[in-house]
A = this chain, B = another copy of it.
Amino acid sequence: MSHDSGFARLPAPPYYAVIFSSQRNGLDPAGYDAAAARLFDLVQEQPGFLGAESARDAGGFGITVAYFTDEAAIAAWREHTEHRAAREYGREHWYAQYQLRIARVERAYGGHPADAAPVAAVEEEA
């Protein structure tokens, strides 16, 4: 992932989240890393893409959450030719199991704890 920090900078809700959990099978790490980087670049160009966050633990279990303005943007990204090809390839070659959930984000809260601000006070700042 070619972002500076792990956090996506998003507008105020509502917007949509694609929550992708996956267990890597450990095979083809170079191919997987290259495809992940390429898809991350591609999705930046997708109209309606807002940002993404991703973490994978040492055991190969990972969660990526990609954020979009609306369901139409998610559908368009799903139909993207190169994304579709990578998805079909990855399903057979890179993952032991995966789960995809589509959700409508209704509220967001956050903070830099160093500011000692109560969560409630920074609602909607995200």
Question: How many A residues touch the partner, as a band?
Answer: 35 or more
Protomer copies: 2
Are B106 and A103 in contact, CB atoms less than 8 angstroms apart?
yes
Partner of A91, one of B23, B55, B100, B119: B119
What secondary structure prevails in chain A residues at the interface with B? strand
Are A108 and B97 in contact, CB atoms less than 8 angstroms apart?
no
Complex: chain B residue closest to A111, CB-CB: B98
Are A107 and B101 in contact, CB atoms less than 8 angstroms apart?
yes
Are A102 and B91 in contact, CB atoms less than 8 angstroms apart?
no
Complex: chain B residue closest to A64, CB-CB: B63
How close is A54's CB to chain B, nearest CB, in angstroms?
A: 7
Residues of chain B contacted by A55 (CB below 8 angstroms): 21, 55-57, 61-63
Are A99 and B92 in contact, CB atoms less than 8 angstroms apart?
no
Complex: chain B residue closest to A110, CB-CB: B99
Q: Which residues of A pack against B, CB within 8 Å? A: 5-7, 13, 17, 19, 21, 23, 53-59, 61-63, 65, 91-92, 95-114, 116, 119, 126
